[in-house]
Amino acid sequence: MALLQRLEMRQGQSLVMTPQLLQAIKLLQLSHLDLVSYVDAELERNPLLEVADKPEPGDLHSAPEGRDLPGSSLREEPDLSRGEIEADISTPYDNVFPDEQPGPSGGAEPQMDALSLSSSAWQKSGPGGFDLDEVDFAAKLTTEASLHDHLSSQLDLATPSAIERFIGRHIIDAVDEAGYLAESVDQLASDLGVEAGTVERMLGVVQTFSPTGIAARNLAECLSIQLRERDRFDPAMQALVGRLDLVARRDFPALRKVCSVDDEDLSEMLAELRSLDPKPGRAFGSAPVQVLVPDVFVRVASDGSWLVELNPDTMPKVLVNQAYHARVSRHAKVEADKGFISECLQSANWLTRSLEQRAKTILKVATEIVRQQDGFFAGGVAYLRPLNLKTIADAIGMHESTVSRVTSNKSIGTARGTFEMKYFFTASIPSASGAEAHSSEAVRHRIRQLVDAERADDVLSDDTLVKKLKVEGVDIARRTVAKYRESLRIPSSVDRRREKRGGGR
């Protein structure tokens, strides 16, 4: 067969990953904090973008149509598109990969003491001495002291020796955020070129600082320091601290023998041990607690329906300043300037479309989650149903990958608390009677209830838990019960029996 060369024209479709499409995919999976950072960067880079006025509650509410559920329904709200944005959303990306089709259903800064004035500050002052205008005392009052600064201020008062202060500062530098000494005494001595005994002696001085228990080398030493401060480090307590392994195992008979005390004394000693702070440094310089801010709210409306709303505080709103674009375009004479303005307009329009579509997609997915998990919102964890990404994707006509991106780093605020969207996707545990399957999270909740209700003379083993769950219609293996129990941090039946009979809590 002869080989011939010829030209042919063929028509086909292919996915082109343009920068705009990559941006849309990226925005879809960002958390609201990351999204705010991204939008702020775009506002700085693009002169045509500006922040829109904060929307009133209700401007962003939109719940797509759907079937009613027993005892509840979803109310449809107005569309969230706003008149300020002129461009239409012409590029839907419910499925950002068109070639993939859904399958069939199936430390604060260091704080300088007000009396510690630098030489540079004196040089800035006039003849009268220090210029008070150079110091922001209000800022100093609101500055949070770090653990390092707190210890350093005590070190300056603890010893007049410059050498001891030098060693003490190296010890303080080696204290981690929890308050423990992160380096050994020998290592510190080697680094400083001094004897280990000198470092050990200075470590004893640092360990007298507040908070009590600071600069300890291990948990036992940390607790011992705090007990000495309370004048409670008697031989019995010393023996108890020396066998923290038995405390962790709740081996109360062995602890009574080691400490030579009775049940009542051991119970009091354990209670006092629990009152101590195992991480004395965590009150200083710790990172602020990040509150989980809901991206979507679910609440009961006046007619008893479930109302799904976007949280406007987590949805940045930006506008394209068309007037500024027109004014700048008229004065642009150089081709490079015209190209830059055109690119900024295109980028700004795409960003506004992407943010709008992102909000709609999140609301669409969240609404379907509420439909699928209606029992949870009405009755609690016990009514949580098995759910996977494919179920949501098939119900709303999206691809699983899109649903996965939407549910990443997003949360839903309910009357029962704030939950990550991923929380509502749970594995399926088959029913023993052939009825509807059970959610793994609901099974965990039931295991917790059974353990909390057990008596000291009738502690439930994993096998017993399996039998009780099967009576309730849950077909579950013993190893699965053990795995769920450990994930809930519930001790084994042996440890629980020992704790309940041995005078634990």
Encode 329-380 in three state secondary structure.
HHHCCCHHHHHHHHHHHHHHHHHHHHHHHHHHHHHHHHHHHHHHCHHHHHHC
Instruction: Give yes or no: residues 176 and 301 share one domain.
Output: no
Q: Find the domain containing 479 and state its range.
A: 427-501
- What CATH number is associated with residue 453? 1.10.10
Least confident among 25-34, 280-289, 298-307, 483-492 = 280-289
Percent of the chain beyond pLDDT 70? 77
Instruction: Give yes or no: residues 35 and 162 share one domain.
Output: no
Average pLDDT on 294-313 reads 89
Please give the single-letter amino acid code of residue 149. D
Q: Which of 355, 388, 421 is where one domain is finished? A: 421
Q: What is the pLDDT of residues 254-286, one digit of tens each?
A: 888 999 998 888 888 898 988 999 988 887 755
Over 90: is that where the pLDDT of 98 sits? no
Number of structural domains in the chain = 3
pLDDT at residue number 83 = 32
Q: Is the Cβ–Cβ distance between 24 and 357 less than 8 Å?
A: yes
- How many Å apart are CA 185 and CA 167, to the nearest integer? 11
Instruction: Give yes or no: residues 267 and 156 share one domain.
Output: yes
Average pLDDT on 69-85 reads 37
- How many Å apart are CA 85 and CA 259, to the nearest integer? 75
CA distances from 476 to 95, 122, 271, 428, 445 (A): 36, 75, 37, 10, 14
Least confident among 103-107, 195-199, 308-312, 379-383 = 103-107
Structure tokens, 329:
């375009």
| pTM across the whole model | 0.56
- How many Å apart are CA 49 and CA 46, to the nearest integer? 6
pLDDT at residue number 331 = 85
Tell me whether residue 260 is in a domain.
yes
Residue count of the chain, please give it: 505
pLDDT at residue number 456 = 80
Over 70: is that where the pLDDT of 192 sits? yes
Instruction: Give yes or no: residues 153 and 264 share one domain.
Output: yes
CA distances from 245 to 44, 182, 203, 498 (A): 56, 22, 26, 15
* φ, ψ dihedrals at 396, nearest 5°: -110, 5
Q: Which of 261, 283, 305 is where one domain is finished? A: 283
Average pLDDT on 152-163 reads 87
- How many Å apart are CA 38 and CA 315, to the nearest integer? 12
Instruction: Give yes or no: residues 155 and 253 share one domain.
Output: yes
- How many Å apart are CA 35 and CA 408, to the nearest integer? 13
Q: Which of 226, 248, 283 is where one domain is finished? A: 283
Structure tokens, 497:
């029996």
Instruction: Give yes or no: residues 268 and 165 share one domain.
Output: yes
| Rounded (to 5) percent helix, strand, coil in the chain | 50, 10, 40
Structure tokens, 219:
């948990």
pLDDT at residue number 205 = 92
Over 50: is that where the pLDDT of 186 sits? yes
Instruction: Give yes or no: residues 276 and 312 share one domain.
Output: no
Closest CA to 203 of 178, 220, 225, 223: 225
Percent of the chain beyond pLDDT 90? 20
Please give the single-letter amino acid code of residue 188. L
Instruction: Give yes or no: residues 276 and 350 share one domain.
Output: no
Tell me whether residue 485 is in a domain.
yes
